[in-house]
Amino acid sequence: MIIFISIFVLTSLISSTLVFSSLNNFPIARPGCKSTCGEVQIPFPFGIKRKCYRTKQFLVTCNNTDFTPPKLFWGNVEITDISLDGQITVVRSIAKNCYDKQQNRSSDNNPILELPSNFRVSNTANKFTIVGCDSYGYVSGRRRIGRNFTTGCTAMCSSRNDLQERECAGAGCCQTTFPEDVWWVRIDVRSYSNYTKVSDFSNCSYGFIVKDKAFTFSKDNLTNLSNVTKLPAVLNWDIGKGTCEVAKSNLKAYACKSAESECYEPVSGSGYRCRCRNGYEGNPYLTSGCIDIDECTLKISNCTKNAKCENTIGSYTCSCPKGHKGDGKEGDGCVKKQSLMIAYVLIGIIALLLCIILLYLELKRRSQRKTKHKFFLQNGGSILQEKLATGEVSPQMVTIFTSTELQKATNNFHNSMIIGRGGFGTVYKGVLADRRTVAIKRSIRVDPTQIEQFINEVVILSQINHRNVVILLGCCLETDVPLLVYEFISNGALSSHLHDEAKARVLDWNMRLKIATETADVLSYLHSSASTPIIHRDVKPDNILLDHTFTAKVSDFGASRLVPVDLAQLSTMVQGTFGYLDPEYMQTHQLTEKSDVYSFGVVLLELVTGRKALSFDRPVEEKSLSSYFLYVLKQDLLVKIIDEKIVGSGNMEQIYSVCKLAKECLNVKGEDRPNMKEVAMELQGLILGGKHSWERNNADNIEEMEYLLPNNHDGMGGVSSSVGYDSISRDHIGLPINGGGGR
């Protein structure tokens, strides 16, 4: 306790001494106004009586009746120091919460501080502190920007031996900061167990806002703070509202009255302050408040030892003795004349080398800038700019990253940052300057025919707002190949979990059904709820990512198409991945939302069977999963291909229902398939334990489907090795048609 009080008194004395020394011999208050109260200076704009203060916010009172020496008050708040740098030190109450041995509670909680405009609690000069061994506390309040805030911390210990002198890191004492611009504050302190576990040495909690370094924790504080009622805290103040520019427009109300003063805006707050210019000191709020200081007498000049310092108005000069030349200031200072020629030669050489280096760097910078601009145009920059200008892409939704930013984020695209490879290229993990972890897709080659598809992915993703869609953060067009920046999904692609023996065991039936439902919900949203309907065109497990909670995130919209509201289908070149392609789409080249339904049906089969859509390692009849599924379904041998890892008590009915749903999705004719909204409702019904929400009575088309499915064609490509962020994979196809374009 003695140590704490000593520090507080010493801090106050030092603060007062600094004020006295800095303002000594300079005007402090207005003429005829009292400039001190006890040991506290009262500089204008503060004042005790009328015409001595600027506005009522700066009215203070000096109580010399009840206190010796007198004390200065601001309302009912005691002031121990006023600084013209925009701070005042006040004394504030401590919040307390205590229980005696009979568990009777006594408390002095919720000390509230409410400040007028232009005043706020300093978030840099104060700390919110909790003291106790079974304690937690909150500081809450309001900010000038119209927001509320709450923060706090916990102080715990089980024995006095846990405590460290002068340490306030959670054992018996904790400290934390709070936001800026705070004008209203409330403090609450409480106990987790009413001190029953530590009552032999601590039965109270204490909470307070205290000036930084004015409080040093001691073991004795667990008991002696009960005798302390107030501690110092720092408030910030501004002289007026608005910026300096606005304030200067009204000279009558402008507060910086001294001719040698200047206006500045503090880092936080909405007002302005005044200060004396360099070379002057005093009170800038008074007409003749800023007085020239003698830097030579005060020995605050930077003249060298052998130079002579001479004071000037607002500044000073340094002159060298005879036989020397220079400015007499630190650095070169004063040098002998005979050494000047050598110095000039050296300076000339250094200047020449510097010019050469700067010229080289400038030429290199221009070359890099020219190259980046070339890549920008080559990678579709003009197309993207046109879409931004027309409003097709929102600037708030898509960030244009620079190549420098992404190089730093990936350690210059180091191999250790690679999280996936495929025929399309490489995906890197990166950490941006703001600490966000992202996935950066980098193509392996520049294909001019894919540039429009790349820009298309940016356009489509900027219009999608769904929690189960991978968020596109932005792109970079300054490199040799275009880059896309996505949110980072930590658990990889669904395919890596389904087709890895160890991971697949973790993926039980409930998780697989949840993933299927979330994916169906996304596709339903794209088809019917998006502002413009979207057909994904490449639905597969490689493009379904899983986060740390195994929540599905649909990715890769490079092949997607926006559907005009007046068109039921689009004529396009065939694109997609073998094993998932709609047979009707392959024959007719007519793209509809039912193409995604077919692909999703194959995904359902992979979830149920654990098999790949195409596998050349299996017998010929089992190579195509969809064809083999229809075969075993026809032979009533469905149990033969169900993944044994998901079979459990009571879930076979759900599994058979999903298989039936998959069969409906795999109908050859698109008109016989359900839409994605119906599929999503069916899966949601299974999760909720409901019955089928719809029933289809179409005749089986298994023979027709088997005929059309690409199950026995070699050269159809393999299973994609992508990680979900790619749009150009080695098992994709693109078949040109007559009269059909990419858009």
Domain boundary pick from 465, 487, 509: 487
pLDDT band (50, 70, 90) for residue 131: very high
**Percentage, residues of the chain above pLDDT 90:** 40
pLDDT at position 264 over 90:
yes
Q: What pLDDT sits at residue 518?
A: 96
Residues 559 and 420 in one domain: no
Residues 604 and 637 in one domain: yes
pLDDT at position 12 over 50:
no
Q: What pLDDT sits at residue 567?
A: 57
pLDDT at position 208 over 90:
yes
With helix as H, strand as E and coil as C, how does 90-120 read? EEEECEEEEECCCCCEEEECCCEEECCCCEE
Residues 421 and 553 in one domain: no
Alpha-carbon span 495 to 538, nearest angstrom: 14
Most confidently modeled of 12-16, 17-21, 331-335?
A: 331-335
| Amino acid residing at 716 | M
With vertex at residue 388, the alpha carbon angle to CA 386 and CA 389, rounded to the nearest 5 degrees, is 65
Distances (CA, A) of 218 to 165, 225, 298, 602, 631: 5, 10, 40, 68, 79
Report the pLDDT averaged over residues 716-723.
35
Q: What pLDDT sits at residue 150?
A: 94
pLDDT at position 146 over 70:
yes
Q: Is residue 730 part of a domain?
A: no
Length, in residues, of the chain: 743
Residues 62 and 198 in one domain: no
Please, which residues have CB within 8 angstroms of residue 577's CB and are 6 or more apart in sequence? 538, 540, 542, 613, 717, 720, 729, 731, 732, 733
Q: Is residue 257 part of a domain?
A: no
Which of 174-183, 484-493, 567-576 is predicted with the least confidence, judged by mean pLDDT? 567-576
pLDDT one-digit tens code per residue, 681-710: 999 999 988 544 444 444 344 444 444 443
Q: What pLDDT sits at residue 563?
A: 61
Residues 617 and 536 in one domain: yes
pLDDT one-digit tens code per residue, 484-499: 888 899 898 999 999 8
Residues 209 and 222 in one domain: yes
Report the pLDDT averaged over residues 240-267.
90
Residues 72 and 131 in one domain: no
Residues 223 and 101 in one domain: yes
For all residues of the chain together, what is the average pLDDT?
82
pTM reported for the whole predicted model: 0.47
Q: Is residue 352 part of a domain?
A: no
Residues 459 and 581 in one domain: no
Residues 443 and 474 in one domain: yes
Domain boundary pick from 427, 460, 487: 487
Q: Which of 119, 32, 135, 127 is nearest to 82 (CA)?
A: 119
Q: Which two tokens stand for residue 543?
A: 């493009």
pLDDT band (50, 70, 90) for residue 616: confident
Residues 194 and 45 in one domain: no
Half-sphere exposure of residue 666: CA atoms within 13 angstroms, side-chain side: 33
Report the pLDDT averaged over residues 134-142.
92
Residue with tokens 């009777």: 104
With helix as H, strand as E and coil as C, how does 623-638 read? CEHHHHHHHHHHCCCH
Report the pLDDT averaged over residues 218-243.
88
Domain boundary pick from 454, 487, 520: 487
Q: What pLDDT sits at residue 482?
A: 83
pLDDT band (50, 70, 90) for residue 564: low
Alpha-carbon span 690 to 520, nearest angstrom: 17
Q: Which two tokens stand for residue 336?
A: 């002998």
**429: CATH:** 3.30.200.20
| Amino acid residing at 61 | T
Alpha-carbon span 79 to 67, nearest angstrom: 13
Task: For 264-308, give the DSSP string.
Answer: E--SSSSEEEEEEPTTEEE-TTSTT-EEE--TTTTT-S-B-TTSE
Segments forming the whole domain that contains residue 229: 90-237
pLDDT at position 162 over 80:
yes
pLDDT one-digit tens code per residue, 320-377: 887 777 777 877 678 776 656 677 788 999 999 999 999 999 998 888 888 888 888 8
Q: Which of 131, 228, 209 is nearest to 172 (CA)?
A: 131
Please, which residues have CB within 8 angstroms of residue 674's CB and are 6 or more apart in sequence? 597, 661, 664, 665, 682, 694, 696
pLDDT at position 226 over 70:
yes
Q: Is residue 59 part of a domain?
A: yes
Q: Which two tokens stand for residue 564?
A: 């005009």
Q: What pLDDT sits at residue 736?
A: 35
Alpha-carbon span 318 to 310, nearest angstrom: 6
Residues 574 and 676 in one domain: yes
pLDDT one-digit tens code per residue, 418-455: 988 765 678 899 999 999 999 998 876 656 766 776 67
Q: Is residue 16 part of a domain?
A: yes
Please, which residues have CB within 8 angstroms of residue 699's CB and are 6 or more apart in sequence? none
Alpha-carbon span 546 to 528, nearest angstrom: 24
Enumerate the β-bridge partners of residue 154.
136
Q: Is residue 199 part of a domain?
A: yes
Pair type for strands 134-143 and 148-156: antiparallel
Q: Alpha helices, DSSP H only, in 391-491?
A: 403-409, 451-462
* Residue 241: strand, helix, or coil: strand
pLDDT one-digit tens code per residue, 513-548: 999 999 999 999 988 876 678 888 889 998 999 999
Report yes or no: 674 and 514 within 8 Å, Cβ to Cβ. Answer: no
Task: For 336-388, give the DSSP string.
Answer: EGGGHHHHHHHHHHHHHHHHHHHHHHHHHHHHHHHHHHHHHHHTTHHHHHHHH
Q: Which of 475, 493, 492 is nearest to 484 (CA)?
A: 475
Q: Is residue 360 part of a domain?
A: no
Q: What pLDDT sits at residue 321?
A: 83
Whether the link from the prior residue into 69 is cis, omega within 30° of 0, is yes
Higher pLDDT: 580 or 557? It is 580
* Residue 324: strand, helix, or coil: strand
pLDDT at position 571 over 60:
no
**636: CATH:** 1.10.510.10
Alpha-carbon span 189 to 97, nearest angstrom: 6
Among all residues, which ones are annotated catalytic?
Answer: 538
Alpha-carbon span 699 to 694, nearest angstrom: 16
pLDDT one-digit tens code per residue, 653-674: 999 999 999 999 999 998 999 9
Residue 39 CB coordination number (10 Å): 18
Enumerate the β-bridge partners of residue 431.
437
Residue with tokens 């973790």: 506
Report the pLDDT averaged over residues 207-213.
92
| Amino acid residing at 428 | Y
pLDDT at position 723 over 60:
no
**Percentage, residues of the chain above pLDDT 70:** 83
Alpha-carbon span 452 to 447, nearest angstrom: 10
Q: What pLDDT sits at residue 89?
A: 95
Q: What pLDDT sits at residue 455?
A: 77
Domain count for the chain, please give it.
Answer: 4
Q: Is residue 349 part of a domain?
A: no
